[in-house]
Amino acid sequence: MPDRWGRPSSSLDQQFVHHSGVNVTSINLGGGVTWTGPTCCASGSFCSAGNPVNPWYSQCIPGTAPATTSDAGNGNPTTTTTSTVPTSGSCVGAPLAPYSQCGGFGYVGSNCCASFSGVTYACQGGYWWMSCTPSGNQPPATTTTNIVVPVTTTTNVVVPATTTTRAATTTNPVVPTTTANVPSTTTSNSATPTGCVGAPLAEWAQCSGIGYTGSTCCSSGLVCVVSSQWWGSCQKAPPTTAASTTVSASTTKVTSTTTPASATTTKVTTSSASPTSTHFPMHPPPARVFAPYLDVTKSTISVSDMQNARTNWVILSFIVAGSNNQPTWASQYDITSSFYMDAINSIRANGNDIAIAFGGYDFQELALVITDVKQLQAAYQSVIDRYQVSWIDFDIESTSIYDTAANDRRAQAIAGLQQANPGLTVSFTVSVIPSGMVSSGISWITNLKSRGVRIDILNILAMDYGVPGENGATGMGGYAIQAAQSTYAQLQQIGYTSTKLGITPMIGANDVSGEFFTLANAQQVVDFALANSYIQMLAFWSLHRDSACSGQCADYTNYAAVVPLYDSSRIAQNAFDFSHIFNAF
């Protein structure tokens, strides 16, 4: 069975429910509603009999049965363990590369993770999917005071600073805890300022950051503003001041080993204030917006694709933590790279725009690995600045939503982002069942409220329910509508009375067997959204799956189909049929 986003497991999932009769081998069929075959698992396997969220589907799994909790939703049982296979010192198999699968439902391969570039990786994740990700015991990123940043004689260069006084012993940059104005020795801005290297850059061009090797010089009237250790860009020089206006400041001396000899030491003023934004113009989404999700690990979207889909917005997915806890696309592409920039520029050149989603079902959202709130805020800010986005989305699901410490850090960081970026639209995406959010989702949203976070849009994942609707609701369209109504009522109770709602189904075949979101269901949801002003956003997972599908492609029962679930709706349709329906919103 694929995970929520359509990635296939290593073998066919089968069913089981009761322990009686002939033994069933691991991964084989063993039960479920209407199932009449063998219901016992062979030695060395276990069955999660009585799955409360999906009586239609079960499976014999190798290993020992994990303890389960009562908080489940969207077809995913939650557990108090992280794997059905041994980890940490008792692994079996060859060492795996970073972010390789190492466990989860139906997985039978190696669960050993190799170290890479001095980083220890551990087999971590959720019930359905585990991968080799950086161990939580890694040292914090703030163990050094070296900041890689071009130093010029221009006025008021914004430089990240830290109050850490530990001697500089490496060349690793510090995760910034704040920004500060550096008083300069002159008041003029030169096209090729002293201390920089390279040709003058245009406004908003990158001029600094980890891995950046280009010019550090900005054109006349511009300065290199460093938002974080990952990103700096050429921007209009701020008004001249004699010193920073921050209060309760302390001073430290920071030595940069990468700056020219003429400017190797810079005295910076730091404070406990949150990182500031670069304040580029914000362009929020309209009162009604159709914005499908787009998996950036698939083929690049083209302008013609967006024109054919008739959509003006796409949500690029997902930004997660990389091997050094820096923001990356799907743990594969650092944001300092040119990955997807051509596509983004083309989209915007044609009058369209993008939003960016953090988190997702797999990998590690940044708050799980960055334990300092200000550093976390700076990491989020670096993404905002890098792509100049006006809309960000936090998709917190799988086991991530149960990490209350990470949730609280994230909430504080987002509250800071909203203060630093007036006009920024922030949406939150949560798993639901037809009766609304389950307890984990309610706790997450309640924590956001307690930290003063504004929720512009709460987007519900109307998919993979695993449970029927209530009060007569039927079909995936009816379930989505009931989930929206239920969640909106929950928001009122929590105190988010002005928050708008988004609805995001998984088009076509869902991960839960027997759940299909059809074209007719899409029309139901659009009609409902048009009739209710509290619905601001419609989306779906994902634009790549809204493709032409017929014959073998449309046979969901055929797991050997040429087109996999993550690239197809697996129901009969023409290209962009779902987009054309949703575009009426």
Domains, the chain: 157-270 (no CATH), 289-547+575-582 (3.20.20.80)
CB distance 347 to 308 below 8 Å: no
pLDDT given at position 70: 39
pLDDT of residue 479: 96
- pLDDT at residue 373 in the model: 98
- DSSP type of residue 553: G
Q: Which residues have CB under 8 Å from 421's CB, separation 6+?
A: 277, 279, 282, 381, 384
Residue 120: its pLDDT value, please? Answer: 79
The DSSP call for residue 530 is H
Q: Which residues contact 404 (CB under 8 A, 6 or more apart)?
A: 443, 447
Q: Are 113 and 96 in contact (CB under 8 A)?
A: yes
Q: What angle do CA 179, 182, 184 make, to 5 degrees?
A: 160
- CA-CA-CA-CA torsion sign (86, 89, 91, 92): negative
Phi/psi for 452 (5° steps) reads 75, 25
Helices (H), 366-502: 373-387, 404-420, 439-450, 475-494
Residues contacting residue 72 through CB under 8 Å, at least 6 positions apart: 52, 53, 78, 438, 466
329's tokens: 């696309």
Q: What is the C-alpha separation between 165 and 325, in angstroms, rounded?
A: 22
Phi, psi of 201 (to 5 degrees): -105, 155
Which amino acid appears at position 102 of this protein? C
Q: What is the mean pLDDT of each run of 10 residues along the chain (585 residues)?
A: 43 33 45 57 62 46 52 41 43 78 76 76 73 57 34 36 33 36 33 64 77 82 69 65 32 32 31 49 93 89 83 96 95 94 91 96 95 98 97 96 97 98 98 96 98 99 87 87 98 98 97 91 98 98 94 76 83 96 97
Residue 506 three-state SS: strand
Q: How many CB atoms lie within 10 A of CB 23?
A: 15
